[in-house]
Each structure stands twice: as C-alpha cells, then as structure tokens.
Amino acid sequence: MKRTGILVLALVSCALVLFFVVGMGSSVTELEDIVGNEIINRIAPNISAAAGMKLASEYAGSKTQEELETLVVSGATAGIRTAARMALSIVYAQKTVIELTALATGDIDPAFREAASAPLQNFLIEMEADDLKTMAVSGATHEIRLAAADLYYLKIRGDLTAEKLEMEAVLNDSDELAYMAGVYLAGFYLSFNPKTMEELEELARNGETEGMRMAGATALTSMLIQSDLTAGDLELAIQAVGDEHPELLQAYTDALAHRYGS
C-alpha cells in the first residue's frame, strides 16, 4: 500500500476512536472537538451535524447574532453550521412577527429562512387551519410553506387517520403538505398502526414518495432513541447508509444527536 493510503487509514481510525469515546456521554468540550474536526467532517458530515445539534444552546448563549449569521454560511464544518443555524432559531425568537416573516420569505440563504421559520410558528399558530393550508400551498418560500404545513396538520390532528395521512403523504396540494403528512403519519406507525424497526427502515429507505419516506424516518428515529444502540452503533450506521438515502440518514443522525445529549 502506498504511504498516502496508510496515512488515510490511520486518520480514519483515529477519527473512529474519537467517535466511540465521545459517545459515552458528551461534554460541550467533546462536542466542540467533533464539530471542529475536519477529518470527521470529511468522513461523515452527519456525525459532525449530530454533535452540532447538541451545541445549539451553547452557541446561542455564547455567540452574538452577527457571529452566528457568519458561521451559518461560512462555518468550516457541517457541525458548526448546524449549531449556528439552530442557535439562530433561539436568538431569532426575540424578533417580531414582521421581522421573522421578512426573514422566512426573503431572497436570502435558505439557512436563515429555516432559522426564522421555527420562531415564526409561534405567531402562525394563531391562524385558522384553512389559512395555514393555503399558506402551505402558496407561501413565498419552501421554509414558510413547510412551517405552515406543520401547523395545519397540528390543527386538524383530531381528524387524522393513518389511511388519510398515507394518501396525503403520496398525493397532496404541495410537496410541503405531503412531507408533513408523512411526519404526522409516523405517530400512527408508533402506536395504532405499529410497524417494526425493519419495516420503518425499509420505508425510510425506499418509500414511494418523500412523504412516505419521512413517515418511516420519523418513526424510526423514535425507535432508535428507545433502542439499546450506542452512539458508536449509530455512528457506524451513519457511515454505512451514506448519502444515497437522505431520510434514513437523517433518522440515524437525529438519534445520534439524542445519544450525544444523554
């Protein structure tokens, strides 16, 4: 083997050792080590992102809005950018509905629109279900349509059934409504219409639409969190999934973020 090949293997091995160590209950310092590690970011950016999710509160409390906005777009790793974006959602909660709407509908980096959409929901929740559905179809940006779709299904949750959501996760008035139909369908797959972990993983991997894949992935995340899988197990699963199945990858990423915080 060429010397460069040996060096790459050595770097990968060191990074894997770091994964397993920090998975045993991660401090802020250990999480910062992960998100700041370029090797981890190159090998498995979703592991970096999972650590970043758990650093959001730390970032919100220790960095200015200007610093966070800079890191959202120019942070060196997926973990740093994720931490900054989620921290901005916390910081943006102090903004007015007019300011948040301008951000969520603006011609700006999507990460800023996403950061503004979560706190904006605190205002949108006052809207009627029909108005939310209209916004989920014709809102100016993907982020505000998705935020409205989430609240629409929350408003009508008492009338939802697995059958209705399965149909709407496949065919709906907007991609965002179909996506959120899948997210709410996940609740049925964990309760009244239970599926096994294997079935959920298959659905997250090969569901016929994004909405159905999200149903599998969202329910799978809950099952993974409740399972006996360690942070190390989840890290290896993330590497095995790769980026060909984004919904399945996100399920393992979200579960890993939970492990890092437990």
Residue 33 lies in a domain: no
Does residue 140 lie within any of the structural domains?
A: no
Residues 58-66, mean pLDDT to the nearest whole number: 98
Question: For 233-261, what is each residue's pLDDT tens digit?
Answer: 999 999 999 899 999 999 999 999 999 99
Whether residue 18 is predicted with pLDDT greater than 60 in this model: the reply is no
Kindly list the distances between the CA atom of residue 140 and the CA atoms of 62, 137, 144, 148, in Å, as whole numbers in the listed order.
33, 9, 7, 11
Residue-level pLDDT at 110 = 98
Residue 4 in this model has a pLDDT that exceeds 50: no
Would you say residue 80 has pLDDT above 80?
yes
Single-letter code of the amino acid located at 139: G
Residue 143 lies in a domain: no
Please compute the mean of the pLDDT values over residues 93-116 and round it to a whole number.
98
Question: Could you tell me if residue 69 is inside a domain?
Answer: no
Domain, as residue range, for 213: 162-257
- Average of pLDDT values for 181-201? 98
Query: What's the pLDDT tens digit per position in 119-174?
Result: 999 999 999 999 999 999 999 999 999 999 999 999 999 999 999 999 999 999 99
Classify residue 230: in a domain, yes or no.
Answer: yes
> Is 220 inside any structural domain?
yes
One-letter amino acid of 125: I
C-alpha–C-alpha distance, residues 110 and 107, integer Å: 8
pLDDT of residue 131: 98
Indicate whether 179 pLDDT > 90: yes
Report pLDDT digits (tens) over 227-236: 999 999 999 9
Those residues whose C-beta lies under 8 Å from the C-beta of residue 146, and which sit 6 or more positions away, are 117, 136, 176, 179, 180
Residue with tokens 């190390």: 232
| Tokens of residue 162, six digits | 């697995």
pLDDT at position 64 is: 98
Has residue 80 been placed in a domain?
no
Percent of the chain with pLDDT over 70: 90
Percent of the chain past pLDDT 90, that is, above it, reads: 89
Average pLDDT across the chain, whole number: 92
Query: What is the structure's pLDDT at 256?
Result: 98
Query: How far apart, in whole angstroms, are the C-alpha atoms of residue 72 and residue 114?
Result: 11
CA angle 176, 177, 180 (to 5 degrees): 85
Judge whether residue 207 has pLDDT over 80. yes
Tell me how far apart the 2 most distant CA atoms of the chain are, in Å.
65
Residues 111 and 81 sit within 8 Å (Cβ to Cβ): yes
What is the pTM assigned to this prediction?
A: 0.90
Q: Give the distance, in angstroms, between the CA of residue 49 and the centroid of all CA atoms in the same chain.
A: 9
Give the pLDDT of residue 242: 87
Ramachandran sector of residue 242 (left: φ over 0; alpha: ψ -120 to 50; beta: rest): left
pLDDT at 22: 47
Segments in 23-77 forming alpha helices (H): 28-35, 38-43, 45-54, 56-62, 65-74
Residue 207 placed within a domain: yes
Cβ within 8 Å of residue 226, ≥6 positions away: none
The Cα–Cα gap between 7 and 94 comes to 48
Q: Per-residue pLDDT for 25 more than 70?
A: no
pLDDT at res. 262: 81
Q: How many domains does the chain have?
A: 1
